[in-house]
Amino acid sequence: MPDLLVVAGFGVGALVGLTGVGGGALMTPILVLLFGYSPKVAIGTDLLFAALTKLCGVAMHRHAGTIDVVVLKRLLSGSVPAALLTGLAMYVWGSHIGQALERFMLLSLGCLLLVSALGVFFRDALHALGRSLRLGDAERFKRWQGPLTVTAGSLIGVAVSLTSVGAGALGAVALLYLYPLRLQGARLVATDLAHAIPLALVAGVAHWLVGGVDWELLGMLLLGSIPGVLLGVWMSRWLAVRWVNYAVAGLLSVSGLKLLLN
């Protein structure tokens, strides 16, 4: 099984580097459905896995100057406080409602995987809608960009803390809608990845405090994911990732349905 975990880490890492999606949305269901880990351990370990994996990818993007710092600050001002509050709630009440919390996390995970898949499938339509609004009434659209970005960050912060899903899939879709002219291609992927790192670290530390991190599992996953994400980032500069995103969305749909049906 250790070898398979390394392979899984490599595959997910490559997708993270290529598309910005997959850290939590793919690894958590893989750990639960294929390797039999509990939702609590899978989510907590995956949060730190995603943060460290994406850190390697962001280092390459930062060198290329593709991160939008203004948009990043807006997202973090909403997501990090939301993640801290959600983590605090789990720390205070988690021991009293342990089993109920795990069931809620599993249900939330299944639902968010389906929502993430829908977001990826309809990202072009949302992008077109955002572009139309931006060009049709630029002044009003730009006035609302900041507050809506902070709000989106807050919702993503709660989602990531509960399920490890949202920073990549939902974040990218939200940014495409809110910044249809400003964020494209590698710039979108880089900004989304940079946002996921501090968010996943904050949420991961909260899960560690309630005993939700398997350090041996984390090490095996990182052995595969670090070379995988570096390869993915390099490939993202040369490949069109539209069909890769659709394939990822299909996997998210299947995983979400299986979790809910189980």
Could you tell me the pLDDT band of residue 25, with boundaries at 50, 70 and 90?
A: confident
**Six-digit token string for 61:** 């993007």
Between CA 104 and CA 161 the distance in angstroms is: 12
Residue 32's domain comprises 2-261
pLDDT computed for residue 155 by the predictor: 93
pLDDT computed for residue 231 by the predictor: 84
pLDDT computed for residue 94 by the predictor: 64
Q: Is pLDDT above 80 for 24?
A: no
Tell me which of 86 and 59 has the higher pLDDT.
86
Mean pLDDT (the chain) is 84
Between CA 161 and CA 171 the distance in angstroms is: 14
76, 105, 92, 14: which is closest to 202 by C-alpha?
76
Tens digit of pLDDT for each residue in 83-135?
999 988 887 776 666 677 788 888 888 898 898 888 888 888 888 888 898 88
Number of domains composing the chain? 1
Could you tell me the pLDDT band of residue 150, with boundaries at 50, 70 and 90?
A: very high
Determine what percent of the chain is predicted with pLDDT higher than 70. 90
Tell me which of 166 and 75 has the higher pLDDT.
75
Mean pLDDT of 68-72: 90
Tell me which of 58 and 105 has the higher pLDDT.
105
The packing angle between helices 242-261 and 98-121, to 10°, is 150
Do residues 16 and 22 touch, judged by C-beta distance below 8 A? yes
Q: Is pLDDT above 80 for 22?
A: no
pLDDT computed for residue 96 by the predictor: 61
pLDDT computed for residue 102 by the predictor: 80
193, 150, 185, 149: which is closest to 169 by C-alpha?
193
pLDDT computed for residue 158 by the predictor: 92
Tell me which of 101 and 43 has the higher pLDDT.
43
- Looking at 25-34, 90-99, 135-144, 241-250, which range is the least confident one? 90-99
Q: Is pLDDT above 70 for 61?
A: no
Question: pTM of the entire structure?
Answer: 0.84
Indicate the Cα dihedral angle 203, 204, 205, 211, nearest 10°: 120
Q: Is pLDDT above 80 for 65?
A: no
**Six-digit token string for 106:** 């599993």
Could you tell me the pLDDT band of residue 187, with boundaries at 50, 70 and 90?
A: confident
Tens digit of pLDDT for each residue in 215-240?
999 999 999 888 888 888 777 666 66
